[in-house]
């Protein structure tokens, strides 16, 4: 349920919550289950709009997918079991869906068309279509394949070597899907290590992929086998409550079953750098994806510099880190984050614009932002601009704002965290 007005000037947050399943892992579980042979059962699947778009697309490709609450059962017929869709494949707001699916569809012997919403129509696709063309993929779209709608004429692919110009897990994953179908070996070189859910999942489904530093190798012609996947809680969703627990007075929040994949825990490292009162209890369950409980308490934060190899490990968390920085003593500098410009919105400009409306001292730079703390946030009218992570960040900002905060386009939050406001309400202390 979306509240009419955001809660402001809170006196404390306390309690335990389990954030929804990881968005990246949920997407990939459906994709791998659909191209594997046999039954795949996914539990704690994220029921956000983006992941449901992935299910809808694979159903149109002839895959039998049943959903009971957050349990998803996929009856895969292997890569060759995918069928030519009779309709356009609509990815909604999901950049992950469209970019990763291109790698799958490029090698299938049929024609398909991919579209999305207004946000997707503005997001650059050449970063995927150009390297896929090295494999022999035939993908056309507006402005020479830069924008949707995209037409994919699938066919035989040949393995290729490609060095990514920017660190992008989506591009890497799309090329790995192509590499699974290509003749010979595919070699991908990353400038910096990005989230490795795709590599881990290939192994979970019985495939082989080799990683050595920033180089990933995969051989084509592999057969994957259905399996069981339990999706841990999404650390990118947990980040908003980690921030809230650190900056709302008199707070202590325990987040249960949060994914602790080392390629995703940059937010924890930043909180530790800033002096946050945070503790972690990892699970010892031998899962392919590490997880554990995280407890955060109200903290005296200090400014820091966030740059380099840390950026790909927290790219989705930078909006909420910017808010944390407004409540830290001293200056925080975020660098090397040009990738934020091609997310659901230009997140650099949007974060600066919206937090400035609430009284933050924040300035955009070419590749990031500079934030001076501590700022006393006031009320105002702000907007998510249709970006779920901007929306959740502004809801947390409202919690420490002195005046009323009106948030436009709150509904965008349901893309990744449909129960966000319900969980927030459950933590509010009455005293």
Is the domain of 216 the same as that of 260? no
Residue 316 is among the residues annotated as catalytic for this protein: yes
Tell me the pLDDT tens digit for each residue of 364-387: 998 899 999 899 999 899 999 999
Is the confidence at residue 431, as pLDDT, over 50? no
Closest CA to 219 of 288, 156, 159: 159
Is the domain of 70 the same as that of 200? yes
Is the domain of 274 the same as that of 137? no
**Residue 170 marked as a ligand binder:** yes
Burial code (b: 16+ CB inside 10 Å, e: under 16) for 403-413 equals: eebebebbebb
Is the confidence at residue 343, as pLDDT, over 70? no
Is the domain of 284 the same as that of 417? yes
**Residue 143 marked as a ligand binder:** no
Report pLDDT for 14: 96
Helix (H) or strand (E) holding 15: strand 14-17
Tell me the pLDDT tens digit for each residue of 38-69: 999 999 999 989 999 999 999 999 999 999 99
Whether 7 contacts 403, CB under 8 Å: no
| Residue ending a domain, choose from 175, 202, 230 | 230
Q: Please state the rounded mean pLDDT for residues 197-226.
A: 96
Q: Name the CA dihedral angle for 19, 25, 30, 31, rounded to a multiple of 10 degrees.
A: 160
**Residue 409 marked as a ligand binder:** no
Q: Three-state SS for 74?
A: strand
**Separation CA 393–CA 323 (nearest Å):** 7
**Residue 347 marked as a ligand binder:** yes
Is the domain of 412 the same as that of 303? yes
Is the domain of 77 the same as that of 56? yes
| Residue ending a domain, choose from 185, 208, 230 | 230
What are the phi and psi torsion angles at 44 (to 5°)?
Answer: 60, 35
**Residue 67 marked as a ligand binder:** no
What are the phi and psi torsion angles at 13 (to 5°)?
Answer: -130, 135
Confidence grade of residue 222 (pLDDT, cut at 50, 70, 90): very high
> For a pLDDT cut of 90, what percent of the chain falls above it?
84
Report pLDDT for 35: 98
**Residue 414 marked as a ligand binder:** no
Report pLDDT for 268: 97
Domain that holds residue 285: 4-21+232-427
Q: Please state the rounded mean pLDDT for residues 295-310.
A: 95
Between residues 342 and 253, the one the model is more confident about = 253
Report pLDDT for 34: 98
Please report the DSSP string for 226-270 in residue order: --EEEPPBPHHHHHHHHHHHHHSTT-EEEEEEEE--TTTTHHHHH
**Residue 173 Cα distances to 28, 76, 339, angstroms:** 9, 20, 16
Whether 224 contacts 35, CB under 8 Å: yes
Longest CA–CA separation in the chain, Å:
65
Q: Mean pLDDT, the chain, as a whole number?
A: 94
Rg (CA), the chain: 21
Q: Three-state SS for 38?
A: strand
Whether 218 contacts 176, CB under 8 Å: yes
**Residue 127 marked as a ligand binder:** no
Is the domain of 236 the same as that of 107? no
| Residue ending a domain, choose from 192, 211, 230 | 230
**Residue 23 marked as a ligand binder:** yes
**Residue 402 marked as a ligand binder:** no
Is the domain of 285 the same as that of 154? no
**Residue 108 marked as a ligand binder:** no
**Separation CA 147–CA 143 (nearest Å):** 6
The first and second tokens of residue 10, run together, are 């809170």
Give the CATH number for residue 215.
3.65.10.10
Query: Would you give the DSSP letter of residue 222?
Result: -
Tell me the pLDDT tens digit for each residue of 264-290: 999 999 999 999 999 999 998 778 899
**Separation CA 145–CA 149 (nearest Å):** 9
**Residue 187 Cα distances to 39, 178, 209, 220, 230, angstroms:** 30, 11, 10, 11, 29
Is the confidence at residue 344, as pLDDT, over 80? no
**Separation CA 392–CA 351 (nearest Å):** 12
| Cis amide bond preceding 41, omega within 30 | no
Is the confidence at residue 3, as pLDDT, over 80? no
Q: Three-state SS for 90?
A: strand
**Residue 236 marked as a ligand binder:** no
Whether 56 contacts 81, CB under 8 Å: no
Query: Would you give the DSSP letter of residue 80?
Result: G
Helix (H) or strand (E) holding 215: strand 215-219
**Residue 361 Cα distances to 25, 159, 317, 333, 372, angstroms:** 36, 49, 19, 12, 5
Q: Please state the rounded mean pLDDT for residues 349-376.
A: 94
How would you list the strands of the sheet with 147-153, edge to edge? 89-90, 111-115, 147-153, 138-141
Burial class (CB in 10 A: 0-12, 13-18, 19+), 431: exposed
Report pLDDT for 429: 73
Is the domain of 243 the same as that of 195? no
Q: What's the total number of domains in the chain?
A: 2
Burial code (b: 16+ CB inside 10 Å, e: under 16) for 263-295 equals: ebbbbbebbebbbbbbeeeeeeeeeebbbbbbb
Confidence grade of residue 345 (pLDDT, cut at 50, 70, 90): low
**Separation CA 138–CA 154 (nearest Å):** 7
Q: Three-state SS for 429?
A: coil
Is the domain of 73 the same as that of 108? yes
Catalytic member of 90, 316, 336, 349: 316
Is the confidence at residue 247, as pLDDT, over 60? yes
Is the domain of 129 the same as that of 169? yes
Is the domain of 143 the same as that of 237? no
């Amino acid at each position: 349920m979306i509240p009419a007005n955001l809660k402001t000037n809170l006196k404390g947050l306390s309690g335990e919550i389990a954030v929804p399943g990881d968005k990246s892992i949920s997407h990939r579980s459906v994709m791998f289950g659909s191209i594997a042979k046999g039954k795949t059962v996914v539990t704690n699947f994220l029921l956000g709009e983006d992941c449901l778009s992935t299910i809808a697309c694979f159903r149109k490709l002839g895959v039998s997918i049943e959903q009971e609450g957050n349990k998803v059962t996929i009856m895969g017929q292997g890569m060759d079991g995918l069928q030519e869709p009779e309709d356009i494949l609509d990815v909604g707001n999901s950049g992950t869906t469209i970019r990763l699916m291109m790698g799958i569809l490029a090698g299938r012997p049929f024609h398909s068309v991919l579209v999305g919403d207004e946000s997707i129509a503005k997001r650059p696709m050449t970063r995927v279509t150009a390297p896929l063309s090295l494999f022999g993929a035939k993908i056309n779209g507006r402005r020479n394949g830069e924008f949707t709608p995209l037409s994919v004429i699938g066919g035989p692919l040949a393995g290729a070597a490609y060095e990514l110009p920017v660190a992008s897990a989506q591009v890497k994953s799309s090329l790995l899907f192509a590499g699974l179908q290509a003749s010979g070996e595919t070699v991908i070189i990353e400038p910096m290590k990005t989230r490795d859910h795709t590599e881990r999942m290939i192994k979970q489904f019985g495939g082989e992929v080799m990683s050595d530093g920033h180089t990933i190798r995969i051989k084509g012609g592999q057969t994957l086998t259905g399996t069981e996947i339990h999706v841990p809680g999404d650390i990118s969703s947990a980040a908003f409550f980690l921030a809230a627990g650190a900056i709302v007075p008199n707070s202590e929040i325990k987040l249960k079953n949060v994914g602790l994949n080392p390629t995703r825990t940059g937010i924890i490292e930043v909180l530790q750098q800033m002096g946050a009162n945070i503790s972690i209890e990892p699970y010892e369950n031998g899962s392919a994806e590490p997880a554990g409980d995280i407890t955060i308490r109200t903290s005296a934060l200090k400014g820091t510099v966030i740059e380099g190899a840390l950026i790909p490990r927290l790219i989705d968390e930078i909006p909420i880190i910017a808010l944390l920085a407004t409540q830290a003593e001293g200056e925080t500098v975020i660098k090397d984050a040009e990738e934020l410009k091609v997310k659901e919105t230009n997140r650099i400009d949007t974060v600066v614009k919206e937090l400035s409306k609430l009284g933050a001292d924040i300035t955009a730079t070419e590749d990031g932002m500079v934030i001076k703390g501590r700022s006393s946030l006031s009320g105002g009218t702000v907007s998510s601009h249709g970006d779920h992570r901007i929306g959740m960040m502004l809801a947390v900002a409202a919690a420490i704002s002195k005046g009323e905060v009106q948030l436009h386009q709150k509904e965008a939050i349901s893309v990744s965290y449909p129960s966000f406001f319900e969980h927030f309400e459950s933590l509010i202390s009455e005293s």
